[in-house]
Amino acid sequence: MAAALEIAGLSLRFGGLTALNALDLALKPGEAIGLIGPNGSGKTSLFNVLTGHHAPDAGSVRLDGNETAGLPPPRIAALGVARTFQNLRLLRRLSVYENLRAARHARAPWREALWQTPAARRREQDAMISLLALFGLASKTHEMPEALTLVEMRQLEIARVLAAAPKLVLLDEPAAGMTPAETDRIIRAIAEHLLPGRSAIVIEHKVQLVTALCPRIAVLDAGRKIADGPAAAVLGQGEVRRSYFGAASC
């Protein structure tokens, strides 16, 4: 089977700093891969390139055979890439409902900017509210994001990814700041609703989450891939232990 995502020789520099260094990574359709690595190793930068926020300095990114490296973010989003944000990126001035609906505007025809039939609007409302219900947020539909807990905000971001109906899902530390119990809940939500039928890259420092969701793990260190393989094997490697757990435990 052809790869769903094929990254080859990808490099990204910020001035003198090399955030990504000749990175190769391929994902099979439906595959979920865990991406780990110490702080500043380039994980978020990879997502920024994959979503078009940064244009890479070298290399290629193929999504279902389409070259996306250097395309502007809206074009890449249209090809089916959606992400969450390590530092959360919700629209403070819009309700939870409008935050979720933000994922749907681009794929709707332009005339709907002016006129959405009441029936279409109701259909969309029902779809959005049942999405929120999946994450236990139905009662918060009309709240502002600031009324949500951290866990709920992360869940809303994940629901927003789902609302975009993407082919490739990019999750940036979806359980950051969560207790083990909360982490368990988010693992279940991701596994049940987000991963089936999609390719995914999951950045996470929590081994509990990575191993639960991703049979395969890749490790970044200073922008380079230093390991890639079955989760158990990768986590057992001495180099990974030194570079990753050594750095992360400080």
Partner 1 sequence: MDGYTISVLSNIGLFAFLAISAWILLIAGEISFGQQAYFAIGAYSGGIATAVWQWPFAAGVVIAVALGAAVGALVAWPTMRLSGLHYAIATLAFAELTRASLNVFTYRRDIEGFATGPDGANGFGDIRWVYEAGIEPGAYLAIIAGCLGAVIGLVALMSYGRGMARLRIVGEDPILAAMQGLSVTRTKIAAASLAGGIAALGGALYAHLATYIEPAQFSVMTGVHALAYGLIGGLGTVLGPILGVLIDIGLLESLRVFAGYRMIVFGGLVVLVLIVRPRGLLDEPTMRRVQAWLRR
What is the spatial distance between Cα 13 and Cα 136, in angstroms, rounded to a whole number?
41
Part of the chain binding partner 1 (CB under 8 A), chosen from 18-26, 77-85, 197-205, 212-220: 77-85
Residue 77 contacts residue 160 (beta carbons within 8 Å)? no
What is the spatial distance between Cα 176 and Cα 150, in angstroms, rounded to a whole number?
9
Part of the chain binding ligand ATP (CB under 6 A), chosen from 11-19, 119-127, 128-136, 188-196: 11-19
Cβ-count burial of 1 within 10 angstroms (0-12 exposed, 13-18 middle, 19+ buried)?
Answer: exposed
Q: Which is nearer to partner 1, 91 or 191 (CB)?
A: 91
Q: Note the residues at the interface with Mg ion (CB under 5 A).
A: 43-44, 86
Residue 87 contacts which entry, ligand ATP, Mg ion, partner 1, none (Cβ below 5-8 A, type-dependent) = none
Q: Which is nearer to partner 1, 72 or 246 (CB)?
A: 72
Name the DSSP letter for residue 248: H
Q: What's the full length of the chain, in residues? A: 250
Considering only residues 87 to 126 of the shown chain, the ones binding ligand ATP according to CB under 6 A are none
Residue 19 contacts which entry, ligand ATP, partner 1, Mg ion, none (Cβ below 5-8 A, type-dependent) = ligand ATP
> How many alpha carbons lie under 13 Å from residue 7 in its C-beta half-sphere?
23
* DSSP-derived pairing of the beta strands 58-63 and 66-67: antiparallel
Using CB under 6 A, pick the residue from 21, 27, 34, 45 that binds ligand ATP: 45
Considering only residues 63 to 92 of the shown chain, the ones binding ligand ATP according to CB under 6 A are 86
> How many alpha carbons lie under 13 Å from residue 223 in its C-beta half-sphere?
15
Footprint on this chain of ligand ATP (rule: CB under 6 A)? 14, 17, 19, 37, 39-45, 86
